[in-house]
């Protein structure tokens, strides 16, 4: 018989550093358990594909943390609602989300992304120019990390020489997405360090915005400063929040996508050589990586109203069965578990780019579907095809080393032997 303590225990296992290299056995246990509710934490956890998909499409699933019971309780106790000003649009609901996303989306339309391809090819060639057959190549520092950073710096107009500073800050901020507060009630270690990083990055962006006001360029930041649509302009706080979001989301996730694909290709017999022989396989490799080992492992939402997830819906719209999520509860969607749901995909633990196309949630769904998905796919395609074609017999040189991140789970070291 399931006891009340089991959900908390399983979620604590998910957060444990020792499972970071392979959290999927824990996810499988959570998936087998079914939806979890921790009333004392105002938390509901979903892990099946059907449930995660439904929440992401649900009109009452909010992205604004201020709508959560936990946040309102903290504010009532004296906490500042938004200590750094408005968040990035990823953490807002309509109409603010709609307005900000519309203004930013122009930088990610297919025509603009396609125009970046020659420069990305040049960047990849430059990064691989010094790599030699027979040598050990550290694929994170040598390719997976510097490529997305250079691309997002160029897109936003951030000087590449400033990259080490803002990357250190954004790496710390990525940890703030981990669900320690929701699960344990505590922010975990390093909270003050993350707050300092947030303050530094916003101050840096304000200084850069001031420079762009004096000397505008063709970059996205200059565009955001001067954009006007239907008489609507972004405030400086909104520009800072938007650039902050794009800097972090624009490179952390793509680094993980490229690295996870490299690892999967090397760990599965024949897959590396198959891509080397047929670069047209890259799209399938990327989509299977997004399912099998996604860069974003979990997603948070808040119940804007009482919500019933799952169950059978009658013609009258009433829902029988299912899980009722009280208004204000935090919702944790374990999308990495959902992608290995045997009710959604056959052989869920296998990496098989040749399988029939499987729907995944690697870029989210609905109104918050990732704006940068076409750019991430392009960067990963060009990086993977170049690396495999130049070194068709590469091997894994050592087991990878993982960063502590839970949500944006990824490697810090991935050494391969080039051949």
User: Is the peptide bond between 95 and the residue preceding it cis, with omega within 30 degrees of 0?
Assistant: yes
Q: How confident is the model at residue 313 (pLDDT cuts 50, 70, 90)?
A: low
pLDDT-derived band of residue 121, with 50, 70 and 90 as boundaries?
very high
Buried b (16+ CB within 10 A) or exposed e, 195-229: bebbeebbebbeebbeebeeeeeebbbbbbbeeee
Q: Quote the Cα angle for 291-293-299, to 5°.
A: 75
Handedness of CA 400, 188, 196, 233 (dihedral sign): positive
Q: Phi, psi (5° rounding) for residue 232?
A: -110, 125
pLDDT for the residue 232: 67
**Average pLDDT of span 155-161:** 86
Long-range contacts of the stretch 352-355 (C-beta < 8 A, 24+) = 352/288, 353/271, 353/281, 353/284, 353/285, 353/287, 353/288, 354/284, 355/288
Tens-digit pLDDT profile for residues 340-374: 999 999 999 999 999 998 899 999 998 899 999 99
As a whole number, mean pLDDT of residues 193-200 equals 88
Q: Residues 149-173, buried b or exposed e (16+ Cβ, 10 A)?
A: bbbbbbbbbbeeeebeebbebbbbb
What integer pLDDT is reported at residue 3 of this predicted model? 43
Residue 365 falls in which region: left (phi positive, over 0), alpha (psi -120 to 50) or beta: beta
38 — phi, psi (to 5°)?
Answer: -115, 85
Q: Is the pLDDT of residue 405 over 80?
A: yes
DSSP 126-156: HHHTT--TTSEEEHIIIIITHHHHHHHHHHH
Q: What is the pLDDT of residues 123-152, one digit of tens each?
A: 999 999 988 878 999 999 999 999 998 998
Instruction: Name the pLDDT band for 161 (thresholds 50, 70, 90).
Output: confident
Per-residue pLDDT averaged across 318-347, rounded?
91
Strand partners, 395: 417
For helices 373-390 and 117-128, what crossing angle results, to 10°? Answer: 40
The pLDDT-based confidence of 4 (bands split at 50, 70, 90) is: very low
Question: What is d(CA 200, CA 68) in angstroms, rounded to the nearest whole number?
Answer: 27
Q: What's the mean per-residue pLDDT of the chain? A: 90
For 111, the token pair is 């025509």
In whole angstroms, give the CA distance from residue 402 to residue 191.
20
* pLDDT over 70 percentage in the chain: 95
Nearest Cα to Cα of residue 34 among 55, 44, 48, 14:
48
Least confident of 80-94, 227-241, 360-374: 227-241
What string of H, E and C letters represents the secondary structure of 10-24?
A: HHHHHHCHHHCCCCH
Query: Is the pLDDT at 272 greater than 90, yes or no?
Result: yes
Which residue, chain included where needed, has tokens 């119940």?
303
Q: What is the mean pLDDT of residues 183-192?
A: 76
Examine the pLDDT at 306 and tell me if it is beyond 50: yes
Distance CA 47, CA 336 (A): 8
Of the two residues 235 and 43, the one the predictor is more confident about is 43
Instruction: Give the E-state strand segments of 21-67 in sequence order.
Output: 36-38, 43-46, 61-62
Say if residue 317's pLDDT is above 80: no
Share of residues in the chain with pLDDT > 90 (%): 63
pLDDT at 220: 87
Q: Do 188 and 159 form a contact (C-beta atoms < 8 A)?
A: no
Name the pairing type of β-strands 61-62 and 395-396: unpaired
Q: Find tokens 């599965």 and name the residue.
A: 268
The domain 84-297+369-417 is classified under which CATH number: 1.10.630.10, 3.55.40.20, 3.90.79.10, 3.40.50.720? 1.10.630.10
Confidence of residue 5 (pLDDT cuts 50, 70, 90): very low
Give residue 2's pLDDT band: very low, low, confident or very high (50, 70, 90).
very low
| pLDDT value of residue 210 | 92
Q: Kindly state the DSSP code that residue 36 receives in the 8-state scheme.
A: E
At 228, the pLDDT band (50, 70, 90 cuts) reads low
Q: In this predicted structure, which of 19-33, 117-131, 203-217, 302-316 has the lowest mean pLDDT?
A: 302-316
The average pLDDT across 44-50 equals: 98
DSSP per-residue letters across 268-293: STTHHHHHHH-GGGHHHHHHHHHHHS
């Amino acid at each position: 018989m399931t006891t009340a303590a089991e959900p908390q225990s399983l979620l604590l296992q998910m957060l444990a550093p020792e499972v970071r290299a392979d959290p999927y056995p824990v996810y499988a246990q959570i998936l087998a358990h079914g939806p979890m509710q921790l009333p004392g934490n105002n938390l509901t956890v979903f892990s099946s594909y059907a449930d995660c998909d439904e929440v992401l499409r649900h009109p009452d699933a909010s992205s604004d943390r201020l709508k959560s019971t936990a946040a309102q309780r903290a504010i009532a106790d004296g906490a500042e609602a938004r200590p750094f000003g408005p968040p990035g649009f990823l953490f807002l609901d309509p109409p603010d989300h709609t307005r900000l996303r519309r203004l930013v989306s122009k930088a990610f339309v297919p025509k603009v992304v396609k125009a970046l391809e020659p420069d990305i090819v040049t960047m990849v060639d430059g990064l691989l120019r010094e790599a030699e057959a027979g040598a050990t190549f550290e694929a994170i520092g040598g390719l997976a990390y510097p490529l997305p950073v250079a691309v997002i710096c160029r897109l936003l107009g951030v000087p590449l020489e400033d990259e080490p500073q803002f990357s250190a800050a954004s790496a710390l901020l990525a940890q703030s997405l981990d669900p320690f507060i929701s699960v344990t009630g505590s922010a975990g270690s390093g909270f003050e360090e993350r707050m300092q990083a947030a303050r530094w990055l916003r101050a840096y962006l304000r200084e850069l915005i001031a420079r762009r006001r004096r000397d505008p360029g063709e970059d996205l930041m200059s565009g955001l400063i001067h954009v006007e649509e239907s008489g609507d302009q972004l405030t400086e706080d909104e520009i800072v929040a938007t650039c902050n979001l794009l800097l972090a989301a624009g490179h952390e996730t793509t680094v993980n996508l490229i690295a996870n694909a490299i690892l999967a290709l090397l760990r599965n017999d024949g897959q590396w050589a198959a891509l080397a022989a047929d670069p047209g396989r890259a799209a399938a490799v990327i989509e299977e990586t997004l399912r099998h080992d996604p860069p974003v492992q979990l997603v948070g939402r808040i119940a804007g109203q009482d919500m019933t997830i799952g169950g059978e819906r009658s013609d009258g719209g009433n829902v029988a069965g299912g899980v009722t999520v009280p208004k204000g509860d935090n919702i944790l969607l374990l999308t990495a578990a959902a992608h290995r749901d045997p009710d959604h995909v056959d052989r869920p633990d296998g990496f098989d780019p040749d399988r029939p196309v499987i729907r995944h949630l690697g870029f989210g769904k609905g109104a918050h579907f990732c704006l940068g998905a076409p750019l991430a796919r392009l960067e990963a395609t060009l990086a993977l095809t170049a690396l495999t074609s130049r070194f068709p017999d590469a091997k894994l040189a050592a087991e990878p080393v993982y960063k502590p991140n839970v949500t944006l789970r990824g490697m810090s070291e991935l050494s391969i032997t080039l051949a």
